[in-house]
Amino acid sequence: MFEGFTLDHIDVGEVTLRVRYAGAGPAVVLLHGHPRTHTTWYQVAPELAKDFTVVCPDLRGYGRSGKPTTDAEHTPYSKKAMAGDVVALMDALGHDSYAVVGHDRGAQVAYRTAFAAPDQVSKLVVMDGLPTVEHLERCNTKFATEWWHWFFLAQTEKPAERVICADPETWYNAWTTNSPAQLGPENHADFLAAIRDPATVHAMVEDYRAGLGIDRRADEEDREAGRQITCPMLLLWSTKDDLEDLYGDPLAVWRPWCPHVEGHGIDSTHHIAEQAPAELVQSLRTFLL
């Protein structure tokens, strides 16, 4: 897995990130979602490395990256903090211009990076995501039913960690929908190590707690100030997931945030990088080259 890639641990200031990188050409950083690690890209990254310099970190809190102590506002797990990690990581690797690709929770970090570093982020790819505030303002019975985990994970009075850590493999479907056959043996082993670690579970839950508070406020502030994402953006979504069912045309939701957005669905379940890697690589290569 990741043949030819360098495995490293890079200090980006507040945390140290586990990261793999390889290739030559324009730089692109791939940001995973919950509850994955960077190894979710194991079928995608080597193909992209034929044309690009590919950088795959574990987000802070996830996998084997650093897990800072939280605070009452969950600030260390805000997407602004994670975006700052991405900017510092790419600077440490010597890249002053790069594309950012993010899936699921990584999608929120990706668009926040585009806001934070408009002079560095050349292109943005969001997979299966909208701005956090757009999700929450559109919350209805269907959203609350389908995406109930957003609200469960955000609880602090009855912490979700106690439930998850009691049986993480069942909670995360480690032997059914997230089995070795579905994820690939080595990716699955990395996934298992992450979900079995109580410190990682706590950090992943903190990500969701930040989402309902500090991350939403960041979106509201940008919208009120009229700030937009200025680089070209590609939106990809899983046609067997529920983004279209919930929101109709997701491109219409994104246009006020990024006037240069384009996109399409991919015939896949939620984890596109694992379930439809060839189609994803083709879409990314076409957009990024």
Q: Could you read off the pLDDT of 12-53 as tens digits, one per residue? A: 999 999 999 999 999 999 999 999 999 999 999 999 999 999
Work out the angle at residue 283's Cα, subtended by the Cα atoms of residues 53 and 121, and round it to the nearest 5 degrees: 45
User: What pLDDT, on a 0 to 100 scale, did the predictor assign at position 157?
Assistant: 87
CB proximity list for 266: less than 8 A, separation 6 or greater: 236, 237, 238, 239, 272, 276, 279, 280, 283
Give 28's strand partners: 54, 99
Q: Which CATH class is domain 6-288?
A: alpha beta
Pairing state of beta strands 16-23 and 53-57? antiparallel
**Which residues are the active-site residues?**
104, 270
Domain ranges of the chain: 6-288
Distances, alpha carbon 145 to alpha carbons 43, 110, 130, 223, 254, in Å: 32, 26, 18, 27, 23
pLDDT above 90 (res 230): yes
Q: Could you read off the pLDDT of 61-90 as tens digits, one per residue? A: 999 999 999 999 999 999 999 999 999 999
Q: Could you read off the pLDDT of 114-158 as tens digits, one per residue? A: 999 999 999 999 999 999 999 999 999 999 999 999 999 999 989
User: What pLDDT, on a 0 to 100 scale, did the predictor assign at position 39?
Assistant: 98
Exposed, middle or buried: residue 203 (CB in 10 Å: 0-12, 13-18, 19+)? buried
Q: Is the pTM of this model over 0.75?
A: yes
> Average pLDDT in the 239-254 region?
95
pLDDT averaged over the chain?
Answer: 97
Work out the angle at residue 193's Cα, subtended by the Cα atoms of residues 190 and 19, and round it to the nearest 5 degrees: 50
Q: Could you read off the pLDDT of 199-222 as tens digits, one per residue? A: 999 999 999 999 999 999 999 999
Q: Could you read off the pLDDT of 257-275 as tens digits, one per residue? A: 999 999 999 999 999 999 9
